[in-house]
Structure 1
Amino acid sequence: MSSGNGSLSDGVIKKIVLSYTYVAIWIFLSFTVIVYNKYILDRKMYNWPFPISLTMIHMTFCSSLAFILVKVLKLVEPVSMSREVYLSSVVPIGALYAFSLWLSNSAYIYLSVSFIQMLKALMPVAVYSIGVMFKKESFRGETMANMMSISFGVAIAAYGEAKFDAWGVTLQLGAVAFEATRLVMIQILLTSKGISFNPITSLYYVAPCCLVFLSIPWMIVEYPILRDSSSFHLDWFIFGTNSVCAFALNLAVFLLVGKTSALTMNVAGVVKDWLLIAFSWSVIKDTVTPINLFGYGLAFLGVGYYNHSKLQALKAKDAQKKTVQADDEQGRLLEERDGDGLGRRNDNQSD
């Protein structure tokens, strides 16, 4: 009996340790990619202010590696879909992803790491608003009031920002809008059709689309500057390790959500944001004001309440589903029992 309890305890401990390991890996990789991108793009650090080019390098690396894993090594099965579904569903999502990454990386040139994390707190507001617009979310006054509180907190953080840059804020808000639209479109265009990607197949199908859409602004905005800059030489170590980190982050997202839950990822994201704010202030020496922290604190409380509400809604939905399944099962048992009873009566009558 004691051995059974011991093995159960060991199993629970192992599960907890694994969950914390997945969280730690995701936080580390997400933290690394953000700081690494900031280092490359910031004019005061590595001084390579070409966000479209950096994003294209990431997409080229990720799509090439995904192609090798899917088509050459055949370690991952491709998703079965028609050309029509690919063009109508995957291509628009790829376009939204391309613009989201482009604008998000561009913001690192103008804004501090800490302030960007504060602006990213608006993601639930954007996802909910766009969800309501496309009728994937139902409008609720309580939820909208919560969204307003998050927005108010971010506005206070922006007011207290020591190095506020309007263009940088515009870029980051645009990135949030494109990313939120992409998340809603995944539900509408893919999930509703029963299509789901793991990180490898996602990169296999979406990354080439991103590359194509990014090449258009790249040819107009960055290619002429790079072409005329004879002093530029690609540092294979810097961009190679940066691309490996970006690819590993995609795998870590799948690992975290697949082995724990999306809610765990949201909570881990809050921890990561606070760590990045602390790192930005202590190591990069970005200015973080008390008003910054007060505003982000308000936004953080709003995001926490939103996540709590989503969790309660999911629990209620699961409980309702289990009740319906139990009622159906009980109904089937009653029908079988009534059928058996009727059969016995017929047999007795025939005798």
Structure 2
Amino acid sequence: MGKGGALSEGVLKKILLSYTYVAIWIFLSFMVIVYNKYILDPKMYNWPYPISLTMIHMAFCSSLAYILVRILKVVDPVTMSWDLYVKSVIPIGLLYSLSLWLSNSAYIYLSVSFIQMLKALMPVAVYTIGVMFKKESFKSETMANMISISIGVAIAAYGEAKFDSMGVVLQLGAVAFEATRLVMIQILLTSRGISLNPITSLYYVAPCCLVFLFLPWVYVEYPILTEKSSFHLDFVIFGTNSFCAFALNLAVFLLVGKTSALTMNVAGVVKDWLLIAFSWSVIKDTVTPINLLGYALAFLGVGYYNHSKLQALKAKETQKKSQQSDEEAGMLLAEKNEESSGSKKNESHD
């Protein structure tokens, strides 16, 4: 056994940990989606104020992130100039606030299952916006894959029993803003060598979201809330809901940091199927055969896209290892040449 046994045990431990991170992320993501649906849906808890809910999340996350960064000093804040904050963090905060506002609003109009089907368009949006901003290279094969995903989602929408155009517009808007945010993170932060973990990300971005959401809240939801004399905030419901949202951010960091973003994408597909099954069996949302056929087609497209990304990553790693071995071989050859030339000099002196 010896080293082989230790190695196999180490590999097994790593696999089990990876599955644990995936399970934690799926569970928390599942909880946040179902919890938000429960709060916002007029047929359930009946608190249809998506801007207010998003602001509660951002206020909670901002406060907790401040405590962890400034008071408990669990993580160090990133060194960031005011100029960088204005030009990079604030635009990302604006996009994030719009994405959260619209995605939470969609729960009022659409079923959980149909929202997950529409979210399958995320790779399409990220790739298209990436090409527009020249962060992705245009490839006809990849674009054909994106079109197949779009067709699948269109078929799923055609088969939706409770189709609501307002809800679809809101969810597609949320996908577009979220995709733009992800590309902007690459352009504005990653390209400058700045990486934010979830705590520092919330520390810088959540207060921006809170400020950006305040203006529409004052005009859209505040007048309605003040008219309701019976309005009161249930601290147990909104506190646990906000804590789940914060924990989900930490779970994303844990999953991506310990595995990869690709693993999260693949796990996301599993989570979507689980949510569709839950929506159909527990919430009693109507899921039609055409819904499933369309989403299955989109699912195959997303699966192929993830497979292509994995192959590209493997090829990149192989090329990197090959370059490293070539460099090492070159250094060894140079050392041997130096040694041989040194020995020849010594012989000539003798």
TM class by shorter chain equals over 0.9
Which whole-Å CA distance do the structure 2 matches of 1:14 and 1:141 have between them? 41
Provide, for residues 63-116 of structure 1, a one-character-per-residue CA deviation record: whole Å limited to 9, x for no partner: 100000000111111111211111111111111111000000000000000000
Which whole-Å CA distance do the structure 2 matches of 1:24 and 1:6 have between them? 27
Which residue matches 1:54? 53
CA RMSD of aligned residues (A): 1.1
Which whole-Å CA distance do the structure 1 matches of 2:16 and 2:269 have between them? 20
Which residue matches 2:248? 249
Letter in 2 for 1:85: L
Provide, for residues 223-248 of structure 1, a one-character-per-residue CA deviation record: whole Å limited to 9, x for no partner: 11112211110000000000010000
Provide, for residues 320-351 of structure 1, a one-character-per-residue CA deviation record: whole Å limited to 9, x for no partner: 11111111221122222222222333333344
Which residue matches 2:259? 260
Letter in 1 for 2:59: T
Which whole-Å CA distance do the structure 1 matches of 2:16 and 2:324 have between them? 33
Provide, for residues 291-318 of structure 1, a one-character-per-residue CA deviation record: whole Å limited to 9, x for no partner: 0000000000000000000000111111
| Pair 1:5–1:334, CA change in 2 (3 A) | closer
Letter in 1 for 2:292: L
Provide, for residues 275-297 of structure 1, a one-character-per-residue CA deviation record: whole Å limited to 9, x for no partner: 11011111111100000000000
Q: How do 1:275-286 residues align onto structure 2 when only pairs under 5 Å count?
A: 275-286=274-285
Shift, 1:15, TM fit: 1.8
Which residue matches 2:154? 155
Provide the aligned length of Structure 1 versus Structure 2: 350
Shift, 1:120, TM fit: 0.1
Which whole-Å CA distance do the structure 1 matches of 2:282 and 2:308 have between them? 36
List alignment gaps of at least 5 residues for structure 1: none
TM-score, length basis structure 2 = 0.98
For the residue of structure 2 that corresponds to 1:284, the secondary structure is coil
TM-score, length basis structure 1 = 0.97
Which residue matches 1:270? 269
Q: How do 1:108-147 residues align onto structure 2 when only pairs under 5 Å count?
A: 108-147=107-146
Provide, for residues 178-230 of structure 1, a one-character-per-residue CA deviation record: whole Å limited to 9, x for no partner: 00001011111111111001111111111111111111111111111112211
Q: How do 1:168-187 residues align onto structure 2 when only pairs under 5 Å count?
A: 168-187=167-186
Which residue matches 1:67? 66
Which residue matches 2:25? 26
Which residue matches 2:314? 315
Which residue matches 1:293? 292
Q: Alignment identity in percent? A: 80
Which residue matches 1:104? 103
Shift, 1:3, TM fit: 4.7
Which whole-Å CA distance do the structure 2 matches of 1:159 and 1:15 have between them? 43
Which residue matches 1:201? 200
Which whole-Å CA distance do the structure 2 matches of 1:271 and 1:343 have between them? 63
Which whole-Å CA distance do the structure 1 matches of 2:3 and 2:191 have between them? 43
Letter in 2 for 1:104: S
